[in-house]
Amino acid sequence: MTHVLAADPTLADFGKDPLWITIIKAVMLFVFLMLGILFGVWFERKLIARMQHRYGPNRAGKFGLLQSVADGLKMGLKEDLFPRTVDKVLYLLAPVIMVIPAFLAFSIVPFAPMVNLFGVQTPLQLVDLPVAVLFMLAMGAVSVYGVVLAGWSSRSPYALLGGLRSAAQVVSYEIAMGLSFVAVFIFAGTLSTSEIVKAQAETWYAVLLIPSFLIYVVCMFGEAARIPFDLPEGEGELVGGFQTEYSSSLKFALIMMGEYLHTFTASGIAVTLFLGGWRAPLPMEWEWAHTGWMPALWFFIKFVLTFCFIVWVRASLPRVRYDQLMSLGWKVLIPVNLAWILLVAAVRNIVVNEDNRMIGVALGVVIVVGALAIWMRFDTVNQRRKEARKAEVDAEFEQLSNEPAAGGFPVPPLDLPHYHGVQHKEIPSGTN
C-alpha cells in the first residue's frame, strides 16, 4: 500500500526555516545523541548480561540506570595524564576529530516528515542535501583521521599499529559500503535522504535490494569497528590498540562517545536507506500513523531494533583475524557488489525502458552467467592454492619430524632406551 502524503518533505522544503528553529532542531539532535549514548551504554551492558545469564549494572540508580552517569562523572574527574613522549596537540585533538564528524553525519538522518514545531511547519531533519549520503560517507572517512592521529601521536608501537589498521579497514569497507548504496541510488533516482525515504513508500529497499542490504550490514560493523571487526583496538595482540596511551579520563570518554556515535550513525543510515525511514512498519491505513510526530516513533523503534542487532552480534561472534577481515572486504564484498550493481542496472533498464526489454534481459543473463563463471574460477583457483599450501606444510612437518631437533626444539630420539630406576651414573653420556 502506498502512503505518499502531502506532508512528505522534499529538498525544496529545506533552507526555509527561521534561524531559531534551526538552532532548536540542532539542540534537539545533540540532546538525542547524548542521551542515546548514556542509555545506549547501559542498554548494551544489560542486554549482553541477559544473554549471558547475568544481571548487568544494578547498583547505581533504579535498574542501574545511573551507571553510565557515574562512569561519565568518574572519567571526567579523573586526573588527566600525558605520557612523556606524546605529541600533546595531536594527542588532544584526536578524540575531538573522532566525535565531531559523527555528530555531523547524523544531521542528514530524517526522523519524521513535516511536523509542527512551535507553530512552524518544518521537516524533522536538521539538513538535507542533494548529495546527503555522500556527505555521510565523507564524515565517516574524516573521522578515521582521529583514530590514526591518536595512534601516531601516542608514540607507541601498539597504538600506531591500531591506527594503521583502522585506516586500512575504513578504506576497504568504505568502498564496499559506497557500492552497496549505488543500487539504492539507481532505484530512488536521488542521493537525498528525505527523497530516498519517500521512494520507499511502496516497498522497503531491504526487501527489494536485499543483497545491497546484507552487504551494508557487514560493512556497518567494519565501518563502526564493532565486533567482530574491532581490529583497531584488539586487546589480544595490541593491548588496547590506538587508545593504549589514553587513560580513563575525559579523552577516553570522548573516544567511547565517538564509537557509539558511529554505531548510531550506521544504524540511522540503515533505517533511512533500507528500512523505510520513518514510515510505519506495516501497511496501516490510519492517517495518524503517518502524520505528525507519530512517524518519529516508527523511526525510533527501527533504530533501537537495529542497535539491538549490533549488540546481539557482539555477544555472539568472536573477533576475526586481520587477514580474514581484509580478504572479506576486497575479495568478496567488492566483487559481489559490482556484479550486483550491473544486474540492478540491467533490471532497472528493463523496467524504465520497455523498448530495450530484450536487450536488458540478455544483459542480465550475461551478467549472472559471467558472475557465476568468475566465482567458480576463483573458487577453483583458491582450492588449488589451499591444497598446494597444505601439501607444502605437510612436507615441511614430515621433514622436521625426521630431524633430531624438530623446528629448533631438542627432542629425544625415538629409539632411546628406558632408564627408569637406573642410577644416573649408568646412563650413557650424550643423552638427556
Query: pLDDT tens for residues 293-339?
Result: 888 888 999 999 999 999 999 888 888 888 888 888 888 888 888 88
Say how many residues make up the chain: 432
Spatial distance between the Cα atoms of 90 and 111, rounded to a whole number of angstroms: 35
* pLDDT tens digits, 79-129: 777 778 888 888 888 888 888 888 888 889 998 888 888 888 888 888 888
Q: Which long-range contacts (CB under 8 A, 24 or more apart) does 380-383 make?
A: none
**Phi, psi at 44, each rounded to 5°:** -65, -45
Q: Which residue has the cell 533516482?
A: 189
Residue 334 is placed in which grid cell?
Answer: 567488492
CB 295 within 8 A of CB 114: no
Report residues of the chain scoring pLDDT below 50: 1-4, 6, 406, 419-427, 432
* Gyration radius from the chain CA atoms: 28
